[in-house]
Structures are given as C-alpha cells and as structure tokens.
Amino acid sequence: MPLHNKILIADDDAEMLEMLSTMLEGEGYVIVRAENGAEAVELARKELPALVMLDIHMPVLDGLKACKAIKTDPATKPIPVVMLTVEGSIKEIEEAIGYGAKTYLTKPSSRSEILKVVKSSIS
C-alpha cells in the first residue's frame, strides 16, 4: 500500500531536484530521489510512493519510458505520475498522458502551482 505522503522525484538537474525536495519536505512529504528514469522505475517498485514526479529529459532512461514502465507494472500502475518538462512540448505531453501520466508541470512552476498539482494528484 503506498505511503500517502511519500513522493518519488526523478530529475537529473540537481538544483531542480533539491528545490522540489526541500519545498515538499517543508510541506510534510517524505521525498525519495532519483537521478534518472531507470532509478525512478526501480525506486517506484521498491518504495511504492503516493506520487511519482518525472522529468522528461533524463539520462539512462528518459521520463517517457520511465512513465510507461511504471504504468505497465501491476505493482506501480495505480501510482499517479506527474511529468516535469522545461519546454512543455505538446507531443511529449500527449505521449506521457497516453502512457498514463496524470498531468504535467512546466519548469519552473510557482510553489502554489506545484503544491496544487501534488495535492490534487495524491487525493
């Protein structure tokens, strides 16, 4: 059963990973960090977080392939996925939604927007 305040964040940008982690930890969430999509898929299976936030452009396994892997695994399929993207490419976002992502955030987003998406995705 997923821990309802545990969030897995995968981003190869160390600054973005730190900023999101610090912000969400300040709101009482437990953060699990990954630096690439392969690590995110592995940690999603192991940790069963309430939410996965995936950067689209990452090394080893990109966020789109990681999203697909998470949403096709029966153990992790119920976990909502929010995609993180810099440019907000419509094609990539449509692909992610097609794989089962719940929504997306463009980077950077405001604190209030990030919290709104996180809360609505977990509830």
pLDDT in tens, 64-80: 999 999 999 999 999 99
pLDDT in tens, 28-62: 999 999 999 999 999 999 999 999 999 999 999 99
Q: Is the dihedral of CA 54, 55, 60, 61 positive or negative?
A: positive
Domains of the chain: 3-122 (3.40.50.2300)
Q: Is the dihedral of CA 82, 33, 3, 61 positive or negative?
A: positive
Structure tokens at 98: 């097609």
pTM of the model: 0.94
